[in-house]
Amino acid sequence: MHDDRSITEHRLRRVLKERVKPAVHSRAIPLTVERWEAPGEPVPVAEGLAASYGPCAVGDPWGPAWGTTWFKVTGTVPADWAGRTVEAVLDLGFDRMMPGFQCEGLVHRADGGEIKALNPYNDWVRVADRAEGGEQVEWYVEAASNPVLVDHAVTYEGDLPTSGDQPLYRLARMELTVFETQVWELVQDLEVLYDLMVQLDTADARRYEILRAVGAALDALDLGDVPGTAPAARAALAGVLAAPANASAHRVSAVGHAHIDSAWLWPLRETVRKVSRTASNMVNLMDDHPEFVFAMSQAQQLDWIKTYRPELFERIKKKIADGQFVPVGGMWVESDTNMVGGEAMARQFLYGKKFFLDEFGIETQNVWLPDSFGYTAAMPQIVKLSGSKWFLTQKISWSQINRFPHHTFWWEGIDGTRVFTHFPPVDTYNCDLGGAQLAHAARNYREKGHGSRSLAPFGWGDGGGGPTREHLARARRQRDLEGSPKVRIERPDAFFEKAHAEYQDAPVWAGELYLELHRGTYTSQAKTKQGNRRSESLLREAELWAATAAVRIAGYAYPYEDLERIWKTVLLHQFHDILPGSSIAWVHREARETYAALGEELRAVTLAAQQALAGQGGEELVFNCAPHARRGVPAGGAGRPVAPREPVTVEERHGGGHVLANGRLLVQIDGRGLIVSVYDLEARRESVAPGAAANLLQIHPDFPNMWDAWDVDAFYRNRVTDLVELDRLEVTEGGPRAATVRVTRSFGRSEAVQQITLRAGAKTVDIVTDVDWHETEKFLKAAFPLDVKAERTATETQFGHVHRATHTNTSWEAAKFEICAHRWIHAEEPGWGVALLNDSTYGHDVTRDVRADGGQTTTVRLSLLRAPRYPDPETDQGSHTLRFSLAPGAGIGDAVREGHALNLPERVVRGAGPVAPLVAVDEDAVVVEAVKLAEDRSGDVIVRLYESRGGRARATLSADFPVAAAVESDLLERPLPGTAVGVATPEGLVPLTLRPFQIVTLRLRRP
């Protein structure tokens, strides 16, 4: 037989595009349109409805960047449309290829009630299922003219003060139409069959069965009367659509979803509107499709709806009760997981799950994080302690080099906890349920022969409107269709239950889920990262001292509401496009302002509690909120400062520079202002590699292949400029408590001023770097070449640390050329090591070299600043203060202690006398992470602690207040069966036994 396949396929594409789809909406008549431009920021709905509207017509330009235009549309359904289905088509000027990244609208009734949202694939509004004729239409469209910022070009449209005022859009279509149901159904039939057909092998008989049926349908279709002949065309397709799928066909659990970044190429205030638009469409779709299930993560987004759209929130609550609208994730936002601190990660789950429980009575079981840029190895234990048991991710499919070997697996964390995890093989969290994506999921699925099912989140994201009626039509047709996976719309937990039941012995992946992409997010937007770190530290202080005051002082009010509000604000800014530095300028400008305000508020909370505890008096008291004692001040307590031991000396160095000494370290700074020696006098070991210099600032070109703010590509290392030219070198403090050498360098259009300090009794060299940064597409590093043969480094992560190889034996190690660490990174050889500490830097890299003398140099570098131009063309421009320290002779325990000390400064308050710590632990390996009062306002004290060194630990926690009982709890402060906690003694002593990196949350009940 002659092969006419390509002719029929081409015929189908043209007829579908030019005749069938345009016939879905017929007999169109124009609506009357008026407009009003809202001045400045969005206005309340009542104000928009009451505004004075002026004339407007289709084709008119509208909407400057970030503006809001209100359109009033009115019309009357013609009498001769009686009995027909009538819809309005309201096209604001959409680009059909960019759902979620352009203008959007929300349609209101004249009384202010929401009807639905308008998006590129959802530009219709139903007027009547069976019109009577004469129906009046009066609607108000709140239209957002968000600029299109997705082309990765340098633009200043990403902030309100620098954006243009010219209209960005042109009103395209405002009409009443007849909705031709049979034509719409024919479109769905033809699209599903075409998408399936082209995925089948050309030797597959099923492909030709579909081809012949399509040809017959097109023959039955009169292109001059598509609505009248659509039923006959559909009849020709009925047979191929009824053929059942193979028994072994892959099973897809389709979950409606709309991935909405809580900020990214739009500010937070626009996300508030995006989630309302999407959610309104979802509840409307549920009204018409009882089989539809929609999953929404991020408690913050639902809280926004509750606050700003209470009517919509009540509709959502009903759909949740009906089982159609499904909260997932259990976190306040879909946060970054690389840089979020341990306690903050715990609070993501505390406040996220608590919101779902309080508002809906739902205990979420799965953690939904499809788009974060890699996943910490601490996560499995945190997931389990939150009361959840499933984990879903997607982003690992973006890795550049190595293909992840599993789609369904057990993920094992640093403490040994495992969580059942799924990584959808459809490779997108915006699935369209089209034949190409479903076929890819079936082919790509790595668990064949063991498992048979995968999950596919479907729907347009980021304000693109979520799932549509077209998605549901595809799901219905492919529920049991020959040649296709079997598609079933169902809740995420139903998928996980089935996947776990069929594959309980799934393979294990131990350690972090490192994303081999977006490594620049550890560094971009340094002030956002610094604001996060400092906010986490300030919250620790505020809770500790407020709890101590509330327990010790009768009538002292613990600021529950203020602390919860501040925590939620910090958690919001840990969203995976804010903290990583990958949002527009508007987002980061607001973040800096927010962090500054929160800092003032938290310092006030802390000072008020400390002054109340210190009482009236003139004695100088040092408050230490770090988990280890220092300067004679107990951990989490206040005491008198102790004089340092041996004084610090500073001398001229032969050949130029200076020598600092304190009896523990001997530090040499050469005439270039570089550290050429840090000698450990106690161990008689040199820290700096021979012939090398530490604290060497280096500049690299930084122009990745794509994703400017997100990525650094390995080739950046091919060119480096060492900053050795010196402007000034001077001693600014000469002992005996401390000696400081200040180094000033100019480079490019920038300047760096570094203060290198050695303090009395210290085993660290402290460096404060002030940078006035005005480079473009450059990467600033600080290098520390160490005389250490390290096979691996330890880097702090939440509640512990992870080890990473320093070699590049395999592509997996080579891909980790940029890594994330929290407060410290540690390199050692047996018996001796060095820690590099920081106060707000996350990006690092580690390389190793063998020298001519046969020794090995391990170079650890801090990634200080970047200067990408997209999406914020002014990223990191301006002044920065960055602190880091070198700790020679440090073990892991020293790194933990010094890392906390650097990040938790002492506070000096005058008062009557020392303040005893509220709780204490007698084992340094056990770190107290948080002390607070219980969320239920019972007055119970919550203490969260963990084993920090990766070994087993026995410890006793002592409470300096009456304790009726000590109860091990989960992250939501509910009783948790366990073995770590012994019985509290009458003296308030609680014996503990912890496994490596175990997290324990204690509820200390007060009598």
Catalogue the active-site residues: 371
Spacing of C-alpha 691 from chain mean position = 42
* Helices (H), ranges, 221-250: 226-242
CA distance 849 to 828: 15
Q: Which two tokens stand for residue 302?
A: 């639902």
**Alpha-helical segments (H) within 483-584:** 492-502, 526-552, 560-572
Encode 805-822: b = buried (16+ Cβ within 10 Å), e = exposed: bbeeeeeeeebbbbbbbb
Query: Half-sphere exposure of residue 849, counting CA atoms within 13 Å on the CB side?
Result: 13
Geometric angle at alpha carbon 836, from 831 and 840, rounded to 5°: 150
347 three-class SS: helix
**Spatial separation of the C-alpha atoms in residues 44 and 139, rounded to whole Å:** 16
- CA dist 301 and 333 (Å) reads 8
Q: Taking the C-alpha atoms of 808, 814, 818 and 823 in order, what is their torsion angle to the nearest 10 degrees?
A: -50
634, 637, 642, 644 alpha-carbon torsion, rounded to 10°: 70
DSSP state letters, 916-983: --SEEES-TTEEEEEEEE-TT-S-PEEEEEEE-SSS-EEEEEEESS--SEEEEE-TTS-B---SSB-P
Angle between helix axes 299-308 and 342-360 (nearest 10 degrees) is 50
Q: Which segments within 605-759 are labelled E, that is strand?
A: 619-624, 637-639, 649-652, 658-661, 665-669, 675-680, 685-686, 696-701, 721-722, 728-734, 738-747, 750-759
Q: CB under 8 Å to 407, separation ≥6 — which residues? A: 422, 423, 424, 425, 444, 445, 446, 447, 451, 454
- The DSSP code sequence of 542-564 is HHHHHHHHHHHSTTPPP-HHHHH
The amino acid that residue 800 corresponds to is G
Q: Which residues of 864-885 are buried (b: 16+ CB within 10 A; e: fewer)?
A: bbbbbbbbbbbbbbeebebbbb
The two tokens of residue 357 are: 């429980």
